[in-house]
Structure formats: C-alpha cells, structure tokens
Amino acid sequence: MHRYLVWLSNRHDLIGKIFLFIAVIALLVAIFPREGKFRYEYQKGKPWQHDDLIAPVDFGILKPAEELQSELNAVLRDARPYFKRQNSITESQINLLINSFNKAWDARFGRSTGDDPERSRHLDTALSILDTLFTRGIVALNNEIEGKPSGFEVFVIDGNLASRVALSRMFTIKSAQQYIEVWLNGSGLSETEMLNGLLINALRQNVVFDKENTTRAREALTREVPATRGMIQSGEKIISRGELVNAEKYQILESLRTEYSQRLDDTFRFGNVLTGQALLISLTIVVFILFMISFRKDVFAENKNLLMILLIILGMVAAAAMVIKSEPGLLSLLPFCLVPIIIRVFFDTRLAFFVHVVTLVLTGFMVPNGFEFIFQQLIAGLIAIISVAGLRRRSQFFLTALAVFITYAFVYSGMLLIQDGSLAGFDFQQLLLFGGSALFTLFSYPLIFLFEKLFGHVTDVTLMELSDTNTPLLRQLSLLAPGTFQHSMQVANIAEAAAWEIGANTLLIRAGALYHDIGKMDMPAYFIENQTSGVNPHDELSYEESARIIVSHVTRGIEKAKKSKLPEVLVDFIRTHHGTRVAEYFYNRQKLEFPEKEVNDLDFRYPGPVPYSRETSILMMADSVEAASRSLKKPTAESIGILVENIIDKQVEMQQFVNSELTLKDITRIKKILKKKLMSIYHVRIEYPVI
C-alpha cells in the first residue's frame, strides 16, 4: 500500500493532467447537441463532390427563407387584431357618473326634497351620452391600430361573440371628449360645463387589445401557408457527382438535410451519436496534447497553463453550442477571434494558431456548412494573430477589431460571389453581426487582465507599464539609492540588447533588470554605487557581517516585490540574478586575512536558485559585467573583452546556467553584445592596425 501511495505521489502531476483532460472531454461531450450530423458537405455555386445522391425517402422541397417570409408577411398584413369588450367597466363607470353627479348637483344647488325635473334631465342626458360612448366602444390605442385608416376593421369580442368593427365606429379618449362637447353644446342644458367635467372623468377605455386571441389567430394563418413547394420521390436522383450546386439543387439539399434531422428524432439511437461525438472530441484533444508535448513542452509542463487554455476553448465552444441551440443565425456574432488574441498575448503565435484551429474544429462539428464557417473564422483569426504579434499599446486592440471586421466582410463577399455569381443577395444584417463580433473582440483586454490575475501570467502591456520609471517602486529606488537606480538602468539597456540578439523576451528582461536590485533600498550606503561621501560603512564590520548585508538584498528585494504585488515572473529575476555564487570580495578577504580560520562559504553565499530561463541568465551576465566594469581604471577594448570573458566563463564553470535553455552559441553571441555595449558606455574606440 505504501509503495502504491509513493507511486501516486511521484506521478501526481501526470495524474492531474489526465483528470483535467478527461474532465474537459466529458464537458465537451455534454455541451454538444444530441443530434446526428448530415453526412454531406456542399456549397452553393460549387460542384457536388460526392457520389450520385438518390433520395432515400419522400420529402417536400422547402421554400427559400426569403420567399416563405414574404408569403407570411403578406398573410399577416391582412390579419386583423382582436380586441375584447370589458362590460364590467361600463357598469362601474356609469355608477361613478351617477354618484359624482349627485354630489356635484347637491353641492351646487343643495339637496332636493322632491322631484327635480331639471336635475333628472341633466342626469339622463349625461347617462345617455356615456351609454352611447360605451356601447360603440372606447378603444385603447396600441401599435396594432396606431396610424391605421378609419376604415380599418378589427375583431371585437363581446362575451362569446366576435364581430368585425371599423375603427371609425369606435371612439378614442380624444374623440370621445370631442363627442361629449358637441352633444352638450346642442343639448340646451344650463349646466353643460359641469356635465362635461363629470363625463370626461367617467371616460375609460372599455375595448382593449386581446394579445392571446390575436396571436392564436395569426398562428393559424401562418400554419395555412405551406412551407414546401413540390416533392421529391424516394429513389429519385437529386444530384450527380460533379454537377453544379445551383440555387434549385441547393434548396433541395437543404430540404433533405432538414428531413434527415426530423427523422432522427424518432429513429436514431442517441447512444451511437454520443459515442461518435466522444470519439471525435477525444481525438481532437489527443492531437492538441501531442502538439503541446512536441512543440511547447514548457507550456504543457504547467497545469495552470493547460487549465487556462482549455477553459478558453471550452468557453468558446459552449457559447457556440448555446447560440446554435437557441438562435443559429446569431453564430456570426460570436467573437471567435478572442481565442487566438488571448493565447497570442500570453504565449506565442504558433500556439495561438493551433488553439484557434482546435476551437474551430470542435465547433465545426456542430455548425451547418462547416467549411464556410471554419474558413471564415480561420482567416479572421490569422489576421487577429498578426495584428497583436507585437502588442505594445492598447490602441492595437481597436486596430485588431477593425482588421477582423474587414476580413469578415471580404470573406463573406467572396463566398457570396462564388455561390451566387453576384452581390445581389448581400445581407447587410449579416454585416452588422460581423461588426458586433469585431466589437466583442475588444473584450479581450479585460479578459486578458482577468487571466493575468487568475493564472499569474504577465502580458507585454503589463511589462510596458511596469517598465515606466515613474512607478512608485522605481521612483522610490531612484530617490533612496540613486546609484543603484542608474546601475539598474544600464543593466536593463545591456540585457535588452543581448536578449534581442538571441530572440529572448526583451520587454520581460528590461522589466526584470529594473527591479532586480530593489532590495538595496533598505541599506543603500552599504553598496558601493551609492557611496558618494567617501565613507564606507563596511570598514567597521567583519567580513561575515558585510557579506550578510550584501547577500540580504536578494531576500529584501523579494519581500519588497511581493509587498508591491509585482508579478512572480519579475520576482524570479530578483531571486536568481546572483544565483548560488558567493560574495567574492568579502569571501576572498576573509580567507586572505584569516588563513588559520576555517571559512564557511554558506555565510558568504547567495540563496539562489540559479537562473532557469534565457532571460534570467542574461540578466545575471549583464548585472555582473556592468558592476565589474566600474572597477576598470582605464577601460579599453582589450580590458573589457577580458573582463566579460572571465566573468561569464566563471559563471559557466560554476554551473549557473545548467537550468536555462542557453546554448554555447547563445552565450558567445551574448558576450559579443555585452562587450559592444560596455565599450559604447565607456566611449572606447576599436584600435585598427596601422597599414
């Protein structure tokens, strides 16, 4: 049992990766729609690439979407909306009028003790007017009748009866008020003003729109419009190999595809569909794994990298599945170019392209006309990758969005010309969807920031921001330890030139160089570059104490970096810029002055670790040679050359670069750049032989 646990413990990283990929495959299978995929791929305007196609069953030829929609619009144009008469409103408003009239009359003339003919005449007139209004109906205006001519008829439901009524036969609130005013003016009554106010107050719309019945009636009308025209009989040849897929053949093929999908609901075994989807998805993920192992082992080694990449793929495929299930026409709105942009910003162009291809292949299993979809998104993704290849400014995201939109428009136009031979069918709504997709690519910026925080990665934009010498930490360094700040600037320039020479990350090494000595801020006077008064505090300390202070700037720098929340990749430059070497000056002085005393080199040794990347290795070299060059009394090309060779050769001998990917060729090229940069710093001219 113990042996088994040890075996598991030694392989926990591999086991974690296996579970991660199994989980992703399971989620992708769960996301995919449970339906079979039509086996034939075809495009309008291109030859049929398959064998002769014979109709397997009888099926109707679907009308083109534009034609069907036109017929539906024509039917609905003549449809009449339904309204409902609310008789309860009539009763309540009549009672309201009677009560209001009695109160108003009593307030004006006092309560009468017997019959009052004038009062009765006024009330009867008011009730007659209100009854006429409610009998003919006061209609509630809405979009269904707004702006319609007076002769437009609607259905009015009264109880269980529905009758066609012209709008001119009914009142609106406004026309009812006008009717009241005209009637009262011709009535010869004395209190018309009072009655006018009471009647207007009693008005209420008693004919209201009946959405439920209107919808039901329209659905019935649309069901009467046939979705097909003509039939294809079982055994009839649909299309021959090599025959052009024209508009008519395309519509027949689309009809067969629809018929195939509908028949699957009753006859297909979804277990087989599930198995097929699992096989294809698994194969795609295996290809992704093989690519990572073959070309990006460094990325594959980190589970957090894999998790981030797989989450991006999973998120985009899930979004596509949801859109295809709910509204397939909006698929063009999805920003598939987000995937390559984000991957390119964090990793490299090749990986971004491959991840984009994997995402499109997985999505292509679900979408109709997979070739068109993959081609369109592939070209747009390539343009997006190229546009962010040298990301240095936020404005590039806007240029990328514009480039993606233009690419979509050109590809769509090209596809339309191939299929129809003209741009007559150009759909500007589709262009709007492409524009929305391009705009959504701008969300890559906040997503990149989110992934930076979640997974600890650093982008070039962040490195540019951190390389600004006005950041709080660097500004503090320039004030407290100006000599160290100048040293860091020189090292950054030298290291950046060396990184450029061998193709390393120049932005990363520049930022790392600027922060590598921030630990010297706590005790700046103990470092020679900050000693301007001629007083050296080390004169009063033992060599062990001096070495301890010098060595401590590494741990102090790490603490300051973490307190300031610098990215971990920059903290690594602080950790490794001295590797596991010793503070040689104090170590050698201790051995020289106290030969009888055994020296413990751990008291003089930096904590390490040794550099593990090309960038951290270059920084160690640049830092060492720049610091040592300050001790040259009269720098010459020869003395600088000897200094660089000796320092770097000794670092190689001490195995400081065994964990980095530097080759001997790289080290030779770095030496050359370091010599050249130091000579330019000290204005050393190369001496040419006299001929």
582-596: pLDDT as tens digits: 888 888 888 888 887
Lowest mean pLDDT among 113-127, 162-176, 387-401: 387-401
Mode of pairing for the β-strands spanning 53-54 and 207-209:
unpaired
Mean pLDDT of 248-257: 82
Mean pLDDT of 162-180: 91
pLDDT greater at residue 653 or residue 117: 653
Rounded CA gap, 355 and 378, in Å?
11
pLDDT of 42 above 80: no
pLDDT of 317 above 90: yes
Rounded CA gap, 195 and 109, in Å?
14
- The pLDDT score that the predictor gives to residue 616 is 95
The region, left, alpha or beta by phi > 0 then psi within -120 to 50, assigned to residue 139 is: beta
Query: Is this structure's pTM higher than 0.75?
Result: no
- 265-287 burial string, b = 16+ CB within 10 Å, else e? eeeeeeeebeeebeebbeebbee
pLDDT of 269 above 60: no
Q: Exposed, middle or buried by CB within 10 Å (0-12, 13-18, 19+), for 447?
A: middle
Mean pLDDT of 535-556: 89
Between the ranges 21-25, 388-392, 536-540, where is the mean pLDDT highest?
21-25
Mode of pairing for the β-strands spanning 59-62 and 228-232:
antiparallel
445-482: pLDDT as tens digits: 888 888 888 887 888 878 888 898 999 999 999 999 99
Mean pLDDT of 219-247: 83
The label of the residue with tokens 């024509």 reads: 74
pLDDT greater at residue 220 or residue 46: 220
Short-list 158, 14, 150, CA closest to 82: 158
Tokens read off for 25: 């495959």
350-387: pLDDT as tens digits: 999 999 999 999 998 888 777 788 899 999 999 999 88
Q: How far is CA 512 from CA 254, 561, 570, in A?
A: 59, 11, 5
pLDDT of 495 above 90: yes
SS3 category, 447: helix
595-639: pLDDT as tens digits: 878 888 888 899 989 999 999 999 999 999 999 898 888 888 899
pLDDT band of 7, cuts 50, 70, 90: low
pLDDT greater at residue 148 or residue 335: 335
pLDDT of 345 above 90: no
pLDDT band of 690, cuts 50, 70, 90: very low
Rounded CA gap, 607 and 559, in Å?
14
pLDDT band of 45, cuts 50, 70, 90: confident
pLDDT of 250 above 50: yes
Q: Please identify, in words, the CATH class of the domain defined by 460-681.
A: mainly alpha
Report the mean per-residue pLDDT for the chain.
86
pLDDT of 5 above 60: no
- The pLDDT score that the predictor gives to residue 336 is 93
The label of the residue with tokens 């002085």 reads: 589
